[in-house]
Homo-oligomer: A and B are copies of this chain.
Amino acid sequence: MAWADPVDWAQLLDGTACPMCADAHLVTNQSSQLITELRQSYARLVHNQYRRGYTVVILKRHANELFELSDAELAGYWRDVADTAAAVQHVFGAVKINYAVLGNLCPHVHCHLVPLYVADNPPPLLDMGDGEVLLDSDRFAQIVADLRRELGRHAELSDGPVVP
């Protein structure tokens, strides 16, 4: 675990060496592509589409635990997560969405959205390393566009600013 090295872990906790602070806003980074900027977060499509629609929703500001957020930040962040999950379900027709805020490698608050489908029979735990599926770039870009459009539709219905 990242906390095995106290110096490294301290720099992840205080944000001075946080990889998500460095790249969560970029159009493309090593692990994912930006779908859209939301109220409190960036919604990103993970390159590894081992579950169709696997996305992450990354808090814009650096924080490590949910209880560090103000009421307004917490409410806005989970509205972002819920809107993204609704978009994923609308685009992909998942039977269940799994939501996980872990942060054992990088403690910066981010939520994994892992859609499950009728044909899936996963164990009750959530395994983000359960295989790797890389789509061709056209297909991947199409999914990003579909989710962005769907999230924009949600934004029109809500009060928060969503920048497509």
Contact = CB atoms under 8 A, between A and B. Distances in A.
B101 A98 contact: yes
B122 A1 contact: yes
Interface residues of A, number: 45
Contact of A66 (B4, B9, B78, B126): B78
A67 B96 contact: no
Interface stretch (A18-26, A41-49, A103-111, A138-146): A103-111
Interface in A101-141: 101-105, 107, 116, 118, 120-129
A129 B107 CA distance: 23
Q: How many copies does the complex hold?
A: 2
A65 B78 contact: no
- Say whether chain A's binding surface is mostly helix, strand, loop, or mixed: mixed
A66 B81 contact: yes
A125 B125 contact: yes
A65 B79 contact: no
Interface of A: 1, 3-4, 9, 64-67, 69, 71, 74-75, 77-79, 81-83, 85-86, 89, 95-105, 107, 116, 118, 120-129
